[in-house]
Amino acid sequence: MNYHLPRIALVSCLSIFSIGLFAQTAPRTGDAKLTEYWDPQVRIITPGKTASDAPSDAIVLFDGKDASKWKSQKDGGEVRWKIEDGALVVARGTGGIQTREGFGDCQLHIEWRTPAKVEGESQGRGNSGIFLMGKYELQVLDNYNNRTYSNGQAASIYKQTPPLVNASRKPGEWQTYDILFTAPQFYADGSLKSPARITVFHNGVLVQNNTTIWGATQYIGTPNYEPHGALEPLALQDHGNPVAFRNIWIRPL
Amino acid sequence: MNYHLPRIALVSCLSIFSIGLFAQTAPRTGDAKLTEYWDPQVRIITPGKTASDAPSDAIVLFDGKDASKWKSQKDGGEVRWKIEDGALVVARGTGGIQTREGFGDCQLHIEWRTPAKVEGESQGRGNSGIFLMGKYELQVLDNYNNRTYSNGQAASIYKQTPPLVNASRKPGEWQTYDILFTAPQFYADGSLKSPARITVFHNGVLVQNNTTIWGATQYIGTPNYEPHGALEPLALQDHGNPVAFRNIWIRPL
Amino acid sequence: MNYHLPRIALVSCLSIFSIGLFAQTAPRTGDAKLTEYWDPQVRIITPGKTASDAPSDAIVLFDGKDASKWKSQKDGGEVRWKIEDGALVVARGTGGIQTREGFGDCQLHIEWRTPAKVEGESQGRGNSGIFLMGKYELQVLDNYNNRTYSNGQAASIYKQTPPLVNASRKPGEWQTYDILFTAPQFYADGSLKSPARITVFHNGVLVQNNTTIWGATQYIGTPNYEPHGALEPLALQDHGNPVAFRNIWIRPL
Amino acid sequence: MNYHLPRIALVSCLSIFSIGLFAQTAPRTGDAKLTEYWDPQVRIITPGKTASDAPSDAIVLFDGKDASKWKSQKDGGEVRWKIEDGALVVARGTGGIQTREGFGDCQLHIEWRTPAKVEGESQGRGNSGIFLMGKYELQVLDNYNNRTYSNGQAASIYKQTPPLVNASRKPGEWQTYDILFTAPQFYADGSLKSPARITVFHNGVLVQNNTTIWGATQYIGTPNYEPHGALEPLALQDHGNPVAFRNIWIRPL
């Protein structure tokens, strides 16, 4: 293959459609092909109809009808949450639910809605949680006109890191989380090799920017890392409020 | 303020709505308030109607009508690209455009469309580019059924890092980039302190995951960092094809 | 300048001194100069006589004799710790000391010694601490045959992250910390932009590997970030034990 | 175990040995034990006599006498480099050498010396290289009073990233590299999951600060990542100059 195009052609191309970046410096000359490579090829996928819809390589965890990818955390049996109007709704006291399959590094899309009728305050209002690997909680809360502690807000890493901003919608409206999660890694002796990290967009707004997670979420005392598998189930919390979830899809990375 | 709630209350709360995380270990006891903090408070913003719409704290760079936040890279004057059907369309040969204001770390949303009528191949088809800080190019290209070099694909960091997947839509359809950009930092002597990093979602699909940028984009030869300001204009490339852009908003971070 | 050396020369060079990396693939041809750059030039410094000695661009904070770069944290006056045998020794009850100058990102070398005569146990034995920016504590402790809580060990980020290994020397022996510290960054509204990070070698052994710091060290309750300046004094703790320090130098990064 | 010490004791402890950090804020009260944890325990190792000496958990790759952990890259047989005065010296034209064992993430200590008699200039003087995983080159060069291209200097990631400073010793003197290396990770389809990163101290001075590596070192054209195993041999280059190496030890991380 002849990599050596006539130099005059390259120069003329640059001069016609210049973007003005090279104004102060002489244009570089040489073989532009030396910084191109064709392999490995990039895998082709089909994106969803909108950025919120599942692309072709995602695993759809809940499509509005079928909860069979989940089980109860109480007894490992069928999910006892309600399916209403295409949403999976917490049934108070039935316990959390978790996926039957495990996941590690992933891109996760999930939509949630707190009750339109406002009851309670602070942590008592529209409270649920998304537990990555069953251990690391991204808080779900009705945080619209509802002050609570900063590291317990909606989109906080619960009891660790507040969101950058509070981008909450009103109660009764659907909200989205778009999540990038990097799983922690452990040495053979069980000590921590690298902590988990998370990036979150809340209703399209950046709220966690490659945040390091300190350890498994703890309600009391300090978080800590205890070794676990590379793939662990995703869990949703029953905190006693009828929070709804829909359009849940995940892309293992 | 009394931080010391009766411990029995906490324990009963946990036992009713347990998510099953503590099954193997004894529940922790103690004052849960010690890991809560209320200050600083988290700033409240209003998200856009959808995740693609500008939130209340974004700077809208192009709303479909008004290109006054941009100028021509050729002569610093008015933008000579066309405004058609709410889109800003490259007018071949008029040169790139750049924002009048400078930006550093940011969240950027931008939508783009390559011509429905397919002409050319590889880099010759629907080519444009988004230059963060005027220097670091995220490639725009009609990459639907159009093989090119991997590190020159749509959503590649041009001549550096290919996207994780090819999530291209068909020519003539609107596509989205949601971008997190961290600016490079330089020491006083001009040497590099920390390189730029970028995360990109293409049509909602992760394609760059906190990727380190090697230096200013170069068509020929190796990239390199030369020191520049903390805020630099965002630029869009005139590569000779009538690529359209719309709904451009940015949140400085 | 002629960048185009005869290609035959390059090929023969590679073939004579090949390191066997290119065995499976055809050797690349082309202009090797396109991936070389000469500017900016790299600043020249003189390293110390050994890797523990201060290089020419370091600020020597304690050279064995002169404590004038430090002041008392109790009253801002002269340091009341003792200078003995070239070491700066904690004088119980005189309070911590801190540098008069502030520092942010830095490489820090510091040597320390706990008393040869073992008294107390756990946190009570040879306890002191190095507070980066006066806020983020790297623990100093006689941890030789002395069990304590893991996140309070020598070389832990106190009450946060244990060291990867316990590389302690015996009490009475000099030990070294070589530290890379990246300061936290804050937004204008006081919220956290990026957390502090730290890499530590204890007696030459990696013990913290680019560890994210959760916030200012807290003895009770959760750490938290409160905004502070880009440069803050380095502090050494008076925890009541006569711990000695020597050969302290810092390179702002 | 009783975690609940009398609170009065803790408060008095803080008041006697206060380090002055809490001057502006009221002291926190509560149970300090809630942020301590004892498990998992931290593994105990014995550091070397100095920070340059191998700790007890290191693999000694060359102790001054025995080169049996290495083999020739030319034919896989015995190393044909010379062992002289406790050093392993490049024998021109015998080819590079590599370890028989593979390594991934690691802490690596290595000492090297370029010839006292200065011959050649730029890349022709005292040139060798350390190839992490056999692919990612940390440059070895006599760079004392010897200008070369910045991204080809001693302690550069060759043809990628210059060192932060030039901390070279004179030719004929022993120099040290202390290296932290994080291996790249690949997806099942061979595409890059996370790039390699490297931190280097040259003669005790930070020269690479968690630098991202762009791909396998290339003499001509752009670097690129091709998938490889999690463990790959460490290699030393025969670039035709009699560079000497000694005291080589590695700690897999």
The partner residue sitting opposite D34, judged by closest CB among B34, B164, B222, is B34
pLDDT value at C13 more than 80: no
> 10 Å Cβ neighbour count for B241?
22
- D50-81 residue pLDDT tens: 999 999 999 999 999 999 999 999 999 999 99
Give the pTM. 0.90
Query: CA torsion, points A15, A18, A23, A27, in degrees to nearest 10?
Result: -50
A–D: how many Cβ contacts below 8 A?
38
Q: What is the ipTM metric for this complex?
A: 0.90
Cβ-based neighbours of B210, under 8 Å, separated by 6 or more: A199, A210, B197, B198, B199
CA distance B214 to chain A (A): 13
> 10 Å Cβ neighbour count for A86?
12
Residue of chain D whose alpha carbon sits nearest to that of A219: D34
Question: Concatenated DSSP letters for chain B?
Answer: ------HHHHHHHHHHS--STTSSSPPP-S-GGGG----SPPPB----SSTTSPPTT-EEEE-SS--TTEEETTTSSS--SEEETTEEE--TTS--EEESS-B-SEEEEEEEE--SS--S-GGGSS-EEEEETTTEEEEE---TT----GGGSTTSBTTTB--SSB-PPPTTS-EEEEEEEE--EE-TTS-EEE--EEEEEETTEEEEEEEEP-SB--SSS--B-----S-B--EE---SS--EEEEEEEEE-
Cβ atoms of C36 and B222 within 8 Å: the answer is yes
CA distance B174 to chain A (A): 10
Cβ separation of D178 and C51 shorter than 8 Å? Answer: yes
Q: What pLDDT, on the 0 to 100 scale, is given for residue C46?
A: 98
Q: What is the DSSP letter of C8?
A: H
Chain C residues whose CB is inside 8 A of the B36 CB are: 222
Cβ separation of A149 and B36 shorter than 8 Å? Answer: yes
Cis, peptide link before residue D40, omega less than 30° from 0: yes
State the best of D31, D194, D197, D212 to mutate against chain B, taking most chain B CBs within 10 Å: D212
CA distance D192 to chain A (A): 10
- D121-140 residue pLDDT tens: 999 999 999 999 999 999 99
Q: What pLDDT, on the 0 to 100 scale, is given for residue D253?
A: 96
pLDDT band at D25; cut points 50, 70, 90: low
Q: What pLDDT, on the 0 to 100 scale, is given for residue C136?
A: 98
What type of residue sits at position C71?
K
Domain ranges of chain C: 59-252
- B124-144 residue pLDDT tens: 999 999 999 999 999 999 999
CA distance B42 to chain A (A): 6
Q: What is the mean pLDDT of residues D227-232?
A: 97
B76 is written with which tokens? 């610093």
The CA-atom distances, in angstroms, between A13 and each of B128, B195, B221 are 14, 29, 17
Cβ atoms of D176 and C51 within 8 Å: the answer is yes
The partner residue sitting opposite D214, judged by closest CB among B164, B192, B214, is B214
Residue of chain B whose alpha carbon sits nearest to that of A29: B220
Q: Which chains, if any, share at least 3 CB pairs under 8 A with chain D?
A: A, B, C
Compute the distance between CA of residue B252 and CA of residue A57 in angstroms, rounded to an integer. Answer: 32
| CA neighbor of A133 nearest in space, from A246, A202, A51, A226 | A226
A181 is written with which tokens? 């999660």
Compute the distance between CA of residue A107 and CA of residue B201 in angstroms, rounded to an integer. Answer: 10
Compute the distance between CA of residue B50 and CA of residue B204 in angstroms, rounded to an integer. Answer: 13
Q: What pLDDT, on the 0 to 100 scale, is given for residue D23?
A: 40
Low-confidence ranges of chain A (pLDDT < 50): 1-24
Q: Which chains, if any, share at least 3 CB pairs under 8 A with chain A?
A: B, C, D
The partner residue sitting opposite A31, judged by closest CB among C30, C161, C191, is C30
Compute the distance between CA of residue B108 and CA of residue B86 in angstroms, rounded to an integer. Answer: 19
Cis, peptide link before residue C40, omega less than 30° from 0: yes
CA distance D190 to chain C (A): 17
Cβ-based neighbours of C152, under 8 Å, separated by 6 or more: C123, C139, C141, C158, C159, D36
Q: What pLDDT, on the 0 to 100 scale, is given for residue D234?
A: 98
- D137-192 residue pLDDT tens: 999 999 999 999 999 999 999 999 999 999 999 999 999 999 999 999 999 989 99
Cβ separation of D222 and A34 shorter than 8 Å? Answer: yes
Chain A residues whose CB is inside 8 A of the C35 CB are: 34
Chain B residues whose CB is inside 8 A of the C190 CB are: 40
Task: Tell me the three state secondary structure of residue C122.
Answer: helix
Chain B residues whose CB is inside 8 A of the A39 CB are: 150
- A3-55 residue pLDDT tens: 333 333 333 333 334 343 334 457 789 999 999 999 999 999 999 999 999 99
The partner residue sitting opposite B74, judged by closest CB among A20, A29, A151, is A20
pLDDT band at C25; cut points 50, 70, 90: low
pLDDT value at D232 more than 70: yes
- B54-69 residue pLDDT tens: 999 999 999 999 999 9
> 10 Å Cβ neighbour count for C217?
21
The partner residue sitting opposite D30, judged by closest CB among B34, B159, B162, is B34
B53 is written with which tokens? 């719409």
The partner residue sitting opposite C34, judged by closest CB among A34, A161, A224, is A34
Query: CA torsion, points B120, A30, D217, C47, in degrees to nearest 10?
Result: -140
Cis, peptide link before residue B184, omega less than 30° from 0: no
The partner residue sitting opposite D222, judged by closest CB among A37, A224, A227, is A37
Cβ separation of D222 and A253 shorter than 8 Å? Answer: no
Cβ separation of D55 and C203 shorter than 8 Å? Answer: yes
> 10 Å Cβ neighbour count for A252?
17
Residue of chain C whose alpha carbon sits nearest to that of A189: C164
State the best of D25, D42, D153, D194 to mutate against chain C, taking most chain C CBs within 10 Å: D42
State the best of D21, D39, D46, D222 to mutate against chain C, taking most chain C CBs within 10 Å: D21
pLDDT value at B121 more than 50: yes
A188 is written with which tokens? 């053979």
Domain spanning A59-252, CATH architecture:
Sandwich (2.60)
A–C: how many Cβ contacts below 8 A?
40
Chain D residues whose CB is inside 8 A of the A34 CB are: 220-222
Cβ separation of B40 and C193 shorter than 8 Å? Answer: no
> 10 Å Cβ neighbour count for A108?
23
pLDDT band at C61; cut points 50, 70, 90: very high
Q: What pLDDT, on the 0 to 100 scale, is given for residue D27?
A: 79
SS3 per-residue string spanning chain D? CCCCCCHHHHHHHHHHCCCCCCCCCCCCCCCHHHHCCCCCCCCECCCCCCCCCCCCCCEEEECCCCCCCEEECCCCCCCCCEEECCEEECCCCCCCEEECCCECCEEEEEEEECCCCCCCCHHHCCCEEEEECCCEEEEECCCCCCCCCHHHCCCCECCCECCCCECCCCCCCCEEEEEEEECCEECCCCCEEECCEEEEEECCEEEEEEEECCCCCCCCCCCCCCCCCCCECCEECCCCCCCEEEEEEEEEC
Compute the distance between CA of residue D224 and CA of residue B195 in angstroms, rounded to an integer. Answer: 18
State the best of D19, D90, D98, D253 to mutate against chain C, taking most chain C CBs within 10 Å: D19
CA distance D139 to chain B (A): 17
Percent over 90 (pLDDT), chain B: 88
Provide residues of B within 8 Å CB-CB of chain C: 34-37, 40, 42-43, 105, 187, 189-191, 193, 220-222, 224, 226-227, 253
Cβ atoms of A92 and A238 within 8 Å: the answer is yes
pLDDT value at B251 more than 50: yes
Cβ separation of C162 and D201 shorter than 8 Å? Answer: no
